[in-house]
Structure 1
């Protein structure tokens, strides 16, 4: 392990988020994880929560992100924060892919979405001391939560 790895050492992998997939590269430390995720045209994740704060920066393209009953249309260069525990999901309504840089604190290195390929950034001899280990928790179909209400705002 090392606190530095070359970009070529971080795999570009396919990750499943509910019924959708995206391409991502991910790294993590003790307190945070960072993902660079490319969502294809039509990408639509399932509503989910996690016990960590998420900061997003949209590198390119457009993406709708929904938090509860609110809808946010992100365009290249925009930032968005998703508070820990909030129900949220994303929808790429455009005909082009988009790339999002996501930071999760505490890190999501143990989530099945990225745990198989995320690269730890720990010094030689350092014992990882994680701040936490949140994972995505998808809402069951019978939860009563209706994402369609927020999605009506995505004109």
Structure 2
């Protein structure tokens, strides 16, 4: 396979109609020999991001561009602001949410040659095909789909301070 240097403009990012928060794919794993995937994520003010989950096959990095995000990091909560990087190794539970009153935008890197890069598209297609509009029903679909990708969601891992953002009281 041949690879070509290129510039991906802001308008060239592919929007994925993911039901939990806006996400754009910037780089596909087939764009470079390393096979890394790269996304641009936005979590609205006072909203959940990813529920507590663990990856079996890939690592993630979040680089915060705007706002302040809160993360479940194993069994503790961490806060990341503009310019901070969050390391999320496979095998450790993590989640994120936005407690603030401004959006959180971040760049998300997913380790090489991961089947997970198709997860967001798969969920979006299933939500559209099934006509799902209820956020809780969409969240259940996210969990079921995640299992097919080696991602396990466990809402019992939700920190108390994050529960209101995930509709848990």
**Scaled by the length of structure 2, what TM-score is found?**
0.64
Structure 2 residues not aligned, in runs of 5+? 125-147, 164-169
TM-superposed deviation, 1:149? 5.3
Q: Pairwise CA RMSD of aligned residues? A: 2.9
User: 1:29-74 deviations in whole A, cap 9, x for unaligned?
Assistant: 2421101101111221311122211111101100001122111100
Structure 1 residues not aligned, in runs of 5+? 118-133
TM-superposed deviation, 1:91? 1.1
Answer whether contact 1:46 1:138 (CA < 8 A) is retained: no
Answer whether contact 1:71 1:151 (CA < 8 A) is retained: no
CA distance in 2, matches of 1:37, 1:66: 17
10 and 32 in structure 1: CA distance in 2 versus 1, 3 angstrom threshold: same
Equivalent position of 1:53 in the other structure: 59
TM-superposed deviation, 1:138? 3.9
Equivalent position of 1:43 in the other structure: 47
139 and 24 in structure 1: CA distance in 2 versus 1, 3 angstrom threshold: closer
Question: Are 1:110 and 2:118 matched, yes or no?
Answer: yes
TM-superposed deviation, 1:99? 0.5
State how many pairs are aligned.
128
**Scaled by the length of structure 1, what TM-score is found?**
0.69
Answer whether contact 2:72 2:159 (CA < 8 A) is retained: no
Q: Runs of 4 or more off by more than 6 Å in structure 1?
A: none
Counterpart of 1:71 (choices 58, 71, 77) is: 77
- By percentage of residues, which structure has more strand? 1
Equivalent position of 2:93 in the other structure: 87
- By percentage of residues, which structure has more helix? 2
